[in-house]
Amino acid sequence: MDVSSLAVHFDHDLPLGDFTLLPPELLECIMSQMSPLHLVPMMLSCSILNALAHNERIWDRVYHSTMPETHKALHLAPNPDYWKFRNASSIKFLYEFAAAKTSATDEVHTVMSVMKKYSDNSLVQRAAVYILRRLAYYPQVCEKGYREKIEEYRSTLGREGAVVATISVLDNFKEADIVAGSLCAIGNLVIAPENASMLKERHGIESIVSAIRRNSDSFAVLDYGCFALCNIGD
């Protein structure tokens, strides 16, 4: 796992003991129950634990316990084309989320807090735009209560700065996958009329068109760019 750019700070003198002597199955169970704030330093402590942590099941479970609403949204979405729970970007976002979360803040607020705090970090933004696109999306076949929750999330995300943040991603990042993720998030967010109005006021349409022109060789950018523009028009 390439985690060299996670930029996680921890106490190098933490007395971990020799966990590498435990059976891998038991280690997987232990790691799956850990907080990201403890699991990431453990993962970075040696090559054996790093290799063991390259396991989608572990991070799937840790996401479930740390960000349950996001975890559910990610699993309900079809074809998670850019997402793996074990990706360095997913782990970096989860770690920073756990560091920022308090008992007084809900999940959506904390997601936006992390996205805004690390606005120039490509790892965080790559995960953030994907999380936003899923928190603002519900499949055609889903429970009424979940649909209403996502509609509420769209409005809350708009108030918390998601529209402004995704426009900023379009303006400041060159990586096609990050741009495409932001465009898809915008397409879902602007289904809420107040978010569409905000995007127009912030010259978001110009940013979308510019992103499409800069990435004309990326099918994902063209696809999600058209999706966003169509939803603004609606």
- Which residue type sits at 216? S
Quick one: pLDDT at residue 17? 58
Torsion angle of the four alpha carbons 82, 51, 66, 99, in this order, in degrees rounded to the nearest 10: -100
Whether residue 104 has pLDDT greater than 60: yes
Mean pLDDT to the nearest integer, 199-224: 96
Whether residue 77 has pLDDT greater than 90: no
Name the nearest CA neighbour of 90 among 140, 36, 46. Answer: 36
Distances (CA, A) of 163 to 53, 157, 172: 34, 8, 14
CB 157 within 8 A of CB 135: yes
Instruction: Name the 3-class secondary structure at 154.
Output: helix
203: left (phi over 0), alpha (psi -120 to 50) or beta: left
Whether residue 8 has pLDDT greater than 90: no
Which 8-state DSSP code applies to residue 77?
S
Mean pLDDT to the nearest integer, 71-75: 92
Name the nearest CA neighbour of 48 among 25, 19, 26. Answer: 19
Q: How far apart are CA 61 and CA 204, in angstroms?
A: 36
Whether residue 233 has pLDDT greater than 90: no
- Residue 10's contacts (CB-CB under 8 Å, 6 or more residues apart) are 40, 41, 44
Check residues 12 and 206 and name the one with the higher pLDDT: 206
Check residues 185 and 7 and name the one with the higher pLDDT: 185
pLDDT in tens, 147-183: 999 999 999 999 999 999 999 999 999 999 999 999 9
Which tokens hold the place of 50?
Answer: 């790093």
Q: Can you tell me which residue has the tokens 């907080």?
A: 35
Query: Which listed CATH number (3.40.50.620, 3.40.50.1820, 3.30.200.20, 1.25.10.10) goes with 68-233?
Result: 1.25.10.10
CB 139 within 8 A of CB 191: no
Whether residue 5 has pLDDT greater than 80: no
Quick one: pLDDT at residue 46? 83
Quick one: pLDDT at residue 10? 47
Q: In a 10 Å sphere around its CB, with 0-12 CB exposed, 13-18 middle and 19+ buried, how is residue 22 labelled?
A: middle
pLDDT in tens, 16-69: 556 667 777 888 999 999 999 999 998 998 888 888 888 999 999 999 999 999
